[in-house]
Structure 1
């Protein structure tokens, strides 16, 4: 089985989500990567070095500088004539692209897989991760999104894939066009790839408290900052901080939940973390059911003291 993996990038560097997707795709068979962008040779060279990748297909065209799914989907469908499966990370971009490819191929999309049982059988979460479904497909072509936290990242070095240019006229510009982008810049690690995450909830009461209590601790730990949906909805922080089923799915080595009760949708986004530390004054809060370490008390006293004692 030949698998085509969408390489997520910014025309300069590959995103980490691609590495976990390569691992998942490798369980299906031979792995090919698709790099669609503009002046993206550095991305193609990096993709060719990923362990386990056999071929890198490069579509370098100005039409793909900002690869809209309406433009990329027809390109993928052309390449699927010689591939059996199309696999993408379950990121915002991947979730935007995969359904369009599935529709054009007239097949069922298999979303958010956690494991590959065989070439046509997969597991995926349902009911906010409270149950795991095993699904089997009989479609001739497969379209799959991968939950990156469920798979180890492929080695970024050690591969020697062949790079092949792809010449395909971009389509779909009449349906959608790129206008602008507003990208939040931060010196902290990106949420989805951070090894340590400090998250705050509605119990922080306001945005000023959130920044004054959560951020100093995150700075001491070199951590990314996350938030519950309740904190985002209350306006404490922007929505790109949100961790959960409707936010970002994370699985860091250490996740510190401060003032977060543990709603189902939040747990679905972080319960795969290696170690979970919860700080909450409510000893019956659901977050303690998944926490490895729980501390019951007033976060306004505990967190500043913890921050002060860290070297």
Structure 2
């Protein structure tokens, strides 16, 4: 069984979710080939061998650095054919998921998205567990097609070093001008040292912070934890925080190892954006706040007293 993994990059750096995809593919067994397109740091690509890739392909064509879905689908379809891959694995994202759908349609593959566990394989069929209803439930689906496309959810695999770096092999994707019928005219990037979709830890605040002037304590906590900052929808709507920090069903959906919610009541729309987090800590002075029902750990108390003490305790522990 040969597995191709699509590796997403940002400013030349391999995304953590793509490293998870390589680790996921390695856990399935078989021969794992990773493919990166466009600008990418050579040493980072080589390091994918440590996580299970036996071969790393790279097409440095700069036209492939801009997330054009049609072009990515063409390149991946060609790689699947040339490498004689049975399965394509990739991380779910605003780019990865639509690319996966196009590739599946091109090669006649069965596709499964939002996958959260290693598949069970028997008699050529593959049974997979997927997250549904914004993480409130799970469904089991079976892929019986010869070719399969699997899109995994963040944290579906544990990243572990299992080997050594491998050399990068040049790959000619053969994309043509016809693959670039869509053109990106401008891009607005979120600012900050750590961006929400890639963060392992997120510190988020709600209306309980009482105003934008009080956000300094959350930023200090986030800096101490090397975390990203987020907020609830009402906070971004009121202009207290930028809209790219809005976490929730209509904002950014996150799946960090740790999500800290401060002064957020826990409306269902917010929960839909964070319920894939491994651990949720809620700090709220209202013991009846709905968020406590979804929390792994809860602190009932005044955030203006708790956050500074928590920050100092973490600094002391370091």
TM-score when scaled to structure 1? Answer: 0.85
Aligned twin of 2:37? 36
Structure 1 residue corresponding to 2:189, chosen from 183, 201, 222: 183
Q: CA RMSD in A?
A: 2.8
Any gaps of 5 or more consecutive residues in structure 2? none
Partners of 1:37 and 1:298 in 2: CA distance:
48
SS in 1 for 2:236: helix
Please tell me whether the aligned partners of residues 75 and 168 of structure 1 are also in contact (alpha carbons under 8 angstroms): yes
1:97-136 to 2 correspondences below 5 Å: 97-119=99-121, 120-136=126-142
Aligned twin of 2:149? 143
Partners of 2:206 and 2:245 in 1: CA distance:
11
Tell me: CA distance 1:96–1:241, structure 2 relative to 1, closer, same or farther (3 Å).
farther
1:115-264 to 2 correspondences below 5 Å: 115-119=117-121, 120-155=126-161, 158-160=164-166, 163-187=169-193, 189-209=194-214, 211-246=215-250, 247-252=252-257, 254-264=258-268
Q: CA deviation digits over 1:188-227, x for unaligned, max 9? A: x343444432111233344333x23421322333322122
Tell me: CA distance 1:232–1:84, structure 2 relative to 1, closer, same or farther (3 Å).
farther
Matched, 1:23 2:23: yes
Tell me: CA distance 1:233–1:52, structure 2 relative to 1, closer, same or farther (3 Å).
same
Please tell me whether the aligned partners of residues 58 and 168 of structure 2 are also in contact (alpha carbons under 8 angstroms): no
Partners of 2:54 and 2:120 in 1: CA distance:
20
Aligned residues: 307
TM-score when scaled to structure 2? Answer: 0.84
Any gaps of 5 or more consecutive residues in structure 1? none
Q: CA deviation digits over 1:4-54, x for unaligned, max 9? A: 11111135321111111112222333211111114754454344x333112
Partners of 2:238 and 2:150 in 1: CA distance:
34
Tell me: CA distance 1:294–1:44, structure 2 relative to 1, closer, same or farther (3 Å).
closer
Tell me: CA distance 1:144–1:171, structure 2 relative to 1, closer, same or farther (3 Å).
farther
